Amino acid sequence: MLKPLQAPSLDQSDALRIENATLRAEVRRRLPLVPRRKRLVDQAFADAKLLIDWRYGGMSITQRGAYNMGMGRRRWSRAVTVLHRAGIWNRVDVVVDEYEECLRLLGNLQRRAANTGAYRWLFG
């Protein structure tokens, strides 16, 4: 037969609160935190791919065109920096003719940056 639950006493409540806080701290230490810069870089690569998709879909990828599609100025600027570093963009337009080639160049840059951890160029 099951025992009826009792309301925890004040001492039990304090002990449970302490145990809960201890467990949360342990979990927090074990989970890898994604640094802010890494999140921004990942977002920049995702936005760069989105710009490529828009460009080969026939849409404008100027700052104003991207803003009209819902991308902010900073996100657009970081995405264009990624495209420029990948050799896809020359600050005027996309210079690579094929969509698959753009994706290959973007993937190469992303792997190279991830392997070396060299993300400073995006924020320099």
Whether 59 is covered by a domain: the verdict is yes
Domain containing 93: what range?
36-122
How many residues belong to the chain?
Answer: 124
Whether 89 is covered by a domain: the verdict is yes
Whether 2 is covered by a domain: the verdict is no
Is 38 in contact with 46 (CB distance < 8 Å)? no
Summarize pLDDT for 30-71 with one digit per residue, the tens: 656 567 777 888 899 999 999 999 999 999 899 999 999 999
Whether 94 is covered by a domain: the verdict is yes
Whether 10 is covered by a domain: the verdict is no
Whether 79 is covered by a domain: the verdict is yes
What distance in Å separates the CA atoms of residue 80 and residue 48, rounded to the nearest whole number? 7
Whether 40 is covered by a domain: the verdict is yes
Summarize pLDDT for 71-85 with one digit per residue, the tens: 999 999 999 999 999
| Total structural domains within the chain | 1
Whether 4 is covered by a domain: the verdict is no
pTM above 0.75, yes or no: no
